[in-house]
Amino acid sequence: MDTDNSVNLAIEQLHRQRPRSRFVRYSVCLMLLVIALSWLLGDFFTTDLFNGRRLQNLQRFLQELIPYPLQGRAFDWAIALDWLDKILADRGWQALGTTLAISVAAIVMAGCSSLVFTLLAARTLSTTEPFLPAPLGKHSRFKQSAWWLVVAITRLMLIFLRAIPEYVWAFLLLAVLGISAWPIVLALALHNIGILGKLSAEVVENLPTAALASLRGLGASRLQIAGAAIMPMALPRLLMFFFYRWETCVREATVLGMLGFVSLGFWIQDARARNVYDEMFLLIILGAALIMGGDLVSAIVRALIRNNR
């Protein structure tokens, strides 16, 4: 009991001695105030959100998610599987494969292209002497200014690429290339080059510099440092970003399919237009399953790399 009391007293004393920051407290209070004002000014407090009519609509919508042959009757696995097989054979597998192909093509194109921008946008690498103090002198100052300009232009380009949403890129490219897979692939690739290039450059800049400086001191070039040290050190984090953006590409490829190219999004929009909500829900589930499969692949690949380092 004495031990428990002493532990409790020690915890209480630590609690009293904890650091207190007025800035943190005021920030929390300000955040709560902003949230409250946003709810009040945005008129989110609607009294008829769950009125009787909307509850009936919700109930009818949930009933229409049940496969059509089973609506109003007892559940039968044979009927359900026959309905599932018919939709998958008719459009499900083809749409799933097309969506997967678009997302993979876009993220591979974005990943490979972003590596070039990563090396140019990393301030620790794109400098007069990577990972070493820059030498003094008029000539060195000119080279420093040139490298600073390279980094600035590269980062501005990455900002421009990711500032334009995939939907806008797709609309622009559709006007040039017509309805095909290429506008969607290029739209996703361009947007993700901007995102992956920015994130990867930040990863490179935050790497431990001791080993990298040693390589530079031994006379290694930028490309040699990048290939022999930077990529192996940054690979797990780069893969995490790569697979995360691939999941985003799957989602966006589904949505962009609504522009007219036959993918999951096209058939989801078609089912929505025909008010066939059971088919629409099944196609949405297929897209979610594709993303979950990608997350599983990502976890396996990163685990293998961690275990073999």
pLDDT of residue 53: 76
Residue 259 lies in a domain: yes
Task: Please indicate, yes or no, whether residues 236 and 293 belong to a single structural domain of this protein.
Answer: yes
Residue 70 domain-assigned?
A: no
**What pLDDT shows up at residue 67?**
82
Share of the chain above pLDDT 70, in %: 93
Are residue 139 and residue 13 in the same domain, yes or no?
A: no
Q: Is residue 71 part of a domain?
A: no
pLDDT in tens, 139-149: 577 888 888 89
Give the burial string for 109-123 (b: 16+ CB within 10 Å, else e): bbbebbbebbbbbbb
pLDDT tens by residue, 15-54 = 677 677 778 788 889 999 988 887 777 666 656 666 777 7
Q: For 51-89, how does the pLDDT look when each residue is reduced to its tens digit (9 = 90+)?
A: 777 777 777 877 877 887 877 777 778 888 888 888 888
Helices (H) and strands (E) counted in the chain, each on its own, are: 13, 0
46 part of a folded domain:
no
Closest CA to 283 of 272, 273, 268, 263: 268
Quick one: 215 and 267 in the same domain? yes
pLDDT at 129 over 90: no
Instruction: Note the pLDDT tens digit of each residue in 87-96.
Output: 888 888 888 8
Q: Looking at the structure, tell me whether residues 145 and 33 fall in a common domain.
A: no
Q: What is the pLDDT of residue 134?
A: 64
For residue 64, is it within any domain?
no
In a domain, 257, yes or no: yes
Whether the CA torsion 63, 65, 66, 72 is positive or negative: it is positive
Domain range for 239: 85-307
Q: Do the domain assignments include residue 117?
A: yes
- Region 116-121: what's the mean pLDDT? 90
Does pLDDT of 155 surpass 70?
yes
